Amino acid sequence: MARLAQTAGLTDIQQEILSTVRDFVDKEIIPVATELEHRDEYPQQIVDGLKELGLFGLMIPEEYGGLGESLLTYALCVEEIARGWMSVSGIINTHFIVAYMLKQHGTEEQKEYFLPRMAAGEIRGAFSMSEPALGSDVSAITSKAVKDGEEYVLNGQKMWLTNGGTSTLVAVLVKSDEGHPEGTAPHKSMTTFLVEKEPGFGEVRPGLTIPGKIDKMGYKGVDTTELIMDGLRIPANRVLGGVTGRGFYQMMDGVEVGRVNVAARGCGVAQRAFELGVSYAQQRHTFGKAIAQHQAIQFKLAEMATKVEAAHAMMVNAARKKDSGERNDLEAGMAKYLASEYCKEVVEDAFRIHGGYGFSKEYEIERLYREAPMLLIGEGTAEIQKMIIGRRLLEEYRFQG
């Protein structure tokens, strides 16, 4: 992309990383993405390539074997990868969230044990908050951990784990009664457990079952699963941070950076849709000229490009805010909300530009059309983003009268 979605002020290292990733996306992802997606096939070769590039350890500190890069670098890489195929960004996203949670909240022993192998891509992370009866309302979680000697016994059912099958480490949020008397606020009685398991489906550890892949309309290739805990025994040293009752805050911290990540995906998918639309519009002729020469189509392209630019700018702003050490929930919420809505609109316009061919599986836009809606839901729906944005605005602009 020559002109749109440029980012000012990048270091030489950031530019080098991005140019390597862009090259990888153009050569190794775009040519095979649609075919693999139609077969719902896990992109093993692409994942191996990402491992070689060091992408699994991009934000993990150098002392633990990672590249120690910023959230901005990571988000710009995700944008590039999603431009190639959104599912590939999904494969690294949950890994990245779990690594971030470990870095921020883990005990020293947990960091030393997990992070170097996560940086190498040998351990792969998934994170699990949602349950069959809840997604937005995390405080309603019913899965439970009960202490038994030096272990906890976990029971309950989780839903919608991205990378549930392929991961070997799942950060699972459950209610924990220990030390939290009856009547404790729900968000103060939750704990994140670091659950190691074998990859695959069926009983992947005694007491832990991953039933199989959920069949989805898009976002294929990456596996999304349920997780069933039935007397799952986890040692006390696998409580994230070593202290119970902090799980809700740890997860929300992870989701906050995850939101920048979803915004970046929206930017990448929208960029690809624009590329496809602007290219098709110059090739297809009606009424004696390329459809790009009809003003109605030019207006569409103008709107699409403006949305690509605006979403990119907000995503970069949210990432930079977090990198500066400041709270970024307002900016991340805004970026996620705007980028996912704009992405859906840009994809739809590119689809319309393709006329009937957009409906054919031969054209890449058909895949993007099925992928964009996931961004409206993942890491919190539009309504949830607006609730966060609204609350924060009222804090910032408190009436002083």
Ligand X SMILES: Cc1cc2nc3c(=O)[nH]c(=O)nc-3n(C[C@H](O)[C@H](O)[C@H](O)COP(=O)(O)OP(=O)(O)OC[C@H]3O[C@@H](n4cnc5c(N)ncnc54)[C@H](O)[C@@H]3O)c2cc1C
Decide if residue 167 touches ligand X (CB under 6 A). Answer: no
Nearest distance from residue 373's CB to ligand X, in Å? 9
Closer residue to ligand X in complex, CB, 194/305:
194
For residues 107 and 241, the answer to whether their CB atoms sit within 8 Å is yes
Q: Which of 108, 215, 383, 396 binds ligand X (CB under 6 A)?
A: 383
282 binds ligand X (CB under 6 A): no
CB of 98 to ligand X, least distance (A): 10
Rounded to a whole number of angstroms, the minimum distance from the CB of residue 255 to ligand X is 9
Interface characters, 70-109, with ligand X (x: CB under 6 A): ------------------------x---------------
Residue 128 near ligand X by CB under 6 A: yes
**Of 7, 162, 250, 340, which lies in the binding site for ligand X, with binding defined by CB under 6 A?**
162
Residue range at the interface with ligand X (CB under 6 A); choices 45-53, 108-116, 324-332, 372-380: 372-380
Residue reference for tokens 């901005």: 72
DSSP one-letter string for 43-66: -HHHHHHHHHHTGGGTTS-GGGTS
Q: CB of 38 within 8 A of CB of 371?
A: no
Q: Which of residues 204-223 bind ligand X (CB under 6 A)?
A: 216, 219
266 CA to centre of own chain = 10
Q: Which of 49, 61, 68, 135 binds ligand X (CB under 6 A)?
A: 135
Would you tell me the crossing angle of helices 86-105 and 364-375 to the nearest 10 degrees?
Answer: 30
| 68 counts as binding ligand X under rule CB under 6 A | no
Which one of residues 161, 234, 315, 339 is an interface residue with ligand X (CB under 6 A)? Answer: 161
Q: What are phi and psi of 292, to 5 degrees?
A: -60, -20
Q: How far is CA 378 from the centre of its chain?
A: 7
Q: Between 185 and 302, name the residue whose CB sits nearer to ligand X.
A: 185
Compute the least distance from the CB of residue 100 to ligand X, in Å.
14
Tokens of 372: 């964009």
Please identify, using beta-carbon distances, which residue of 106 and 125 lies nearer to ligand X. Answer: 125
**Do 17 and 23 contact (CB within 8 A), yes or no?**
no
Q: Candidates 30-38, 44-52, 121-129, 242-250: pick the segment binding ligand X (CB under 6 A).
A: 121-129
Query: What does the alpha-carbon distance between residue 209 and residue 227 come to, in Å, rounded to a whole number?
Result: 6
Q: Which stretch binds ligand X (CB under 6 A): 10-18, 41-49, 113-121, 371-379?
A: 371-379
Alpha-carbon gap, residue 274 to 311, rounded angstroms? 13
Helical ranges in 54-145 per DSSP H: 71-84, 86-105, 108-119
Least distance between ligand X and beta carbon 133 (Å) = 8
Q: How far is the CB of 132 from ligand X (least distance, A)?
A: 9
Helix H or strand E encompassing 24: helix 12-24
Q: Are 227 and 200 in contact (CB under 8 A)?
A: no
Q: Which residue is nearest to ligand X (CB)?
A: 135
> Shortest gap between Cβ of 156 and ligand X (angstroms)?
13
Does residue 252 bind ligand X (CB under 6 A)? Answer: no
Q: How far apart are CA 283 and CA 6, in angstroms?
A: 26
Q: Which residue has the tokens 């294929």?
A: 220
Check if 122 is active-site. Answer: no
- In 210-326, which ranges are continuous DSSP H helix? 247-283, 295-323
Amino acid (one-letter) located at 79:
E
Q: Which stretch binds ligand X (CB under 6 A): 6-14, 31-39, 102-110, 123-131?
A: 123-131
Cα 163 to Cα 119: distance, rounded to the nearest angstrom: 17
Kindly name the residue from 379, 383, 395, 396 that is annotated as catalytic: 379
Q: First vs last Cα of the chain: how many Å apart?
A: 50
Residues near ligand X (CB under 6 A), total: 22
User: Least distance in Å: CB of 357 to ligand X?
Assistant: 27
Task: Write out the catalytic residue numbers.
Answer: 379
Residues at the site binding ligand X, with contacts judged by CB under 6 A: 94, 127-130, 134-137, 160-162, 216, 219, 224, 374, 377-378, 380-381, 383-384
